[in-house]
Structure 1
Amino acid sequence: MIATYNKNVGDVLMLIVANNEGADVNYERKADVARVFREDTGQTVAWNIFNVKEEWPDLAQGQNALTKAQVAELNLRLSKAGFEEQLVYDGQPKFVVAEILTMEDHADSDHLHVCQVDVGLEEPVQIVCGAPNAFVGMKTVAALPGAMMPSGSLIWPGALRGVPSFGMLCSARELDLPNAPQVRGIIDLQTDVTAGAAFDPETMWQA
């Protein structure tokens, strides 16, 4: 679940729970809750929660990490508004230290690589990457499904030229880090960090 607060469109907390995959969407609103759903399948893809800033004054513009208690409060709002669906708490960090375990050339590309990456989960995840500086053993930063990039784009499971990819290996420029090199290439973390740890730019990033 991606929680994003946008004060520019009013006091609205948007909770994105699924990829609409380009399908047309519609919405139904009850009290201060609106359910956004796909017109073709009826699947819920997002919730808009109105008038939240007074209760949660610490909400920041952009993506917010919600606590388990906050998700429980939001579920009460949904229930009181008359919706039966419930939100699922996800405490997994979305920007994490990643270690490239294996890397093979993409069969249908002259620059893409298919990487098996340790992101701290039980099993490695597969991420397709086109960075020219990637190498086996490299520790970098992965944006996992459910991440919102500084540009506003969302990370979902997908495929690049037919090969499944479950995240994105990031450059400093893509993460809008200070003094980011304006060249192609993912972040090469030169510090002793553990795969799966939440990425902290203040302690882990150095231009």
Structure 2
Amino acid sequence: MLIANYNFAQTGDVLMVVLHQDSIAQVSEKKDNVVRIYDEKTGETLGYNFFQASKCVSDLNGVSGQVKLTQKQVNDLNDLLNEAGFAPELAVDDKPRFVVGYVEEMVSHPDSDHLHILKVLVNDGEHLQIVCGAPNIAEKQTVVVARVGAMMPSGAIIWPGKLRGKDSFGMVCSARELGLPNAPKKRGILELPAAEYEIGQAFDFKQAAGLFSAK
């Protein structure tokens, strides 16, 4: 997993790269203009902060928010890691994190009066268990799923979690959570027209931008 974020106006010339979820035992070490965040107990790298990033990484000018790093940019970052004395461990991650899913099964959560446990098909034979509290969720819906590792437009990252004791591996999204123009303000997931979307395909934000007409 590789999630990158760059926002000069908010954090200055710093490229933040996330590889794993935060841990209780996380610590950091700085060498040159690179900070490595890692788990003190396991030694696993959780992420990096690259300072003065635009001087060393190509095509960051004008970027604000999540960065889909190219192979060239990843190579630039690995060169910085190597020069600073860290392992050049970054690899391009082009796996789509927002995908079209299909709600195959839905049961009530045993410890909640509004949550449901879903079995969602997200690819050929691949299902995710997702706990969802949207009032309009139902079986046989075609939906947008934020998989583990997705960065929402708000900047939040989707990680595995538990809701009232039940595992959840992703999120079924609303139009507002996806940041779509003119999204309804009321709560509820975005149901896609099934005939226009293929299960497992990457969700196209640009294509979906016209789903809601301005009033």
TM-score normalised by length of structure 2: 0.86
Name 1:170's counterpart in structure 2: 173
Contact 2:100/2:203 (8 A) holds in 1 = yes
Counterpart Cα distance in 2 of 1:193 and 1:68: 29
* Secondary structure, counterpart of 2:79 in structure 1: helix
CA 1:122–1:66 in 2, change beyond 3 Å: closer, same or farther? Answer: farther
2:13 aligned residue: 11
In the alignment, which residue of structure 2 is the partner of 1:106?
109
Q: What is the rounded CA distance, in whole Å, between the counterparts of 1:3 and 1:121 in structure 2?
A: 28
Q: Which residue pairs with 1:136 in the alignment?
A: 139
Q: Hey, what does 1:198 align to over in structure 2?
A: 202
RMSD over aligned CA atoms reads: 2.0
Deviates more, 1:171-180 or 1:78-87: 78-87
Q: 2:123 aligns with which of 120, 125, 141?
A: 120
Point out 4+ residue stretches in structure 1 off by more than 6 angstroms: none
More divergent stretch after superposition (78-87 vs 3-12) = 78-87
Query: Any unmatched runs of 5+ in structure 2?
Result: none
**Using a 3 Å threshold, how does the CA distance of structure 1 residues 196 and 68 change in structure 2: closer, same or farther?**
farther
In the alignment, structure 1 segments of 5+ residues that lack a partner are none
Following superposition, the deviation at residue 47 of structure 1 comes to: 0.1
Matched residue, 1:153: 156
Q: Provide the C-alpha distance between the structure 1 equivalents of 2:59 and 2:32, rounded to a whole number of angstroms.
A: 21
The answer to whether the 8 A contact 2:180-2:208 is kept is no
Aligned-partner SS, 1:117: strand
Q: How many residue pairs are counted as aligned between the two chains?
A: 206
- Give per-residue Cα distances to partners, 1:5-31, cap 9 Å, x unaligned: 12122211100111114x264321112
Q: Secondary structure at the match of 2:190?
A: coil
* Contact persistence 2:58–2:73 (CA under 8 A): no
- Give, in angstroms, the shift of residue 39 of structure 1: 4.7
What letter corresponds to residue 82 of structure 1 in structure 2?
A: G
Contact 1:189/1:204, CA 8 A, preserved across alignment: no
**For residues 160-200 of structure 1, what are the alpha-carbon distances to aligned partners after superposition, in whole Å with 9 as ceiling and x for unaligned?**
11111111111111122111101111001125111222211
Taking structure 1 as the reference length, the TM-score comes to 0.89
What is residue 59 of structure 2 aligned with on the other side? Answer: 57
Q: What residue identity is the alignment partner of 1:18?
A: H
1:70 equivalenced with 2:111 (yes/no): no
CA–CA distance in 2 between the matches of 1:17 and 1:85?
13
One-letter code of the match for 2:198? Answer: T
